Amino acid sequence: MVPLTALAGASGGLIVIGVILLVRELTRRAPPQAGRPRPARRLGRDRLRQLLIAGGAGIVALAITRWPVAMIAAVAAVLFLPNITSTRAARQRAAVLEGLEQWTRRLSDMLTASRGLEDALEASVRSAPKAIEPAVARLGRRMSARTGTEAALRAFANEINDPAADRIAAALIIATGRRGGGVRDVLNALAVMLARDVAARREIEAERAQHRTTVKWLTWFVAGFTVFAVLNRSYSAPYGTPGGQLVLALVVVLYAGGLWWLHHLGTVPVAGRFLADESTGPEGQVRR
């Protein structure tokens, strides 16, 4: 009986994982192309590791409780809780904005009467901030390969994938071929705007940190209550019936909805881009 139960649990877990991944794939947004992209092989290993952990958690939950709903909840928790409780995306976007501000100021300082915009863009690679260093390095390689300045800047904006990068790229595209203080003044004004944006975003993140703290505390409370319910057989016995499974499913859905809503309240929406160009390839080449 034990092998059959384990086989049934494994099969049910795989089915649940497939359904959850299907829903996740149909509802997810296109991933940003910028920042510090990880290799596809590493992404595949991370995804496989997460799936294995989720499947193992589902099998363990089913073996301990004999509840299908517990198996589904365990799999969903492993797949979705890290995204809900993590603050990595907000920190990365703030770092990218701060990096853009520093890069814009340095680029403005590099522009002189004898150095044009194209030369300054190539030279800026050596002092690029860490958060945007890969995108700036690829921009420098495109400029060295004599790719069109506008195409290279559009590709750079697509990699950063942020409205702030669109503003900088648009200003540089307009300033292509120009020299003198006019371009420097525009870049300095953009840097000041970015500095204010970064400061305001940090204040917003500090205020919304309480929502993320609430999510974490609620997650720990649910986890502790779950352990208590599993260990206290007399308390959790009614959940083993079909009606109890329906009630448990409703409770899980309500908890999940509450966690998602708190996560939504603690998420800063990103404004839409205006310089997105589908005709620009990954290396700044114009597609025919």
Instruction: Give the integer Cα–Cα distance in Å for 233 and 70.
Output: 15
What string of DSSP letters covers 64-75? HH--HHHHHHHH
**What confidence score (pLDDT) does residue 138 get?**
92
Q: What is the mean pLDDT of residues 255-265?
A: 79
CA 39 from centroid of its chain's CA atoms: 15
Helix (H/G/I), strand (E/B), else coil: 121: helix
Summarised one tens digit per residue, pLDDT across range 35-83 is 444 444 555 677 788 788 888 888 888 888 888 888 888 888 888 888 7
Least confident of 88-92, 167-171, 280-284: 280-284
pLDDT grade for 276, boundaries at 50, 70 and 90:
low
What are the pLDDT digits (tens) for 193-251? Answer: 888 877 887 777 777 777 777 777 878 887 888 788 778 888 888 888 888 889 888 98
Query: 280 forms bridges with which residues in the sheet?
Result: 286
CA distance 58 to 69: 10
The domain locations on the chain are: 1-85, 92-200
Residue 119 pLDDT: 81
pLDDT tens digit string along 119-165? 888 888 888 899 899 999 999 898 888 778 888 999 999 998 888 88
Record the tokens describing residue 105, joined without a space: 């100021």
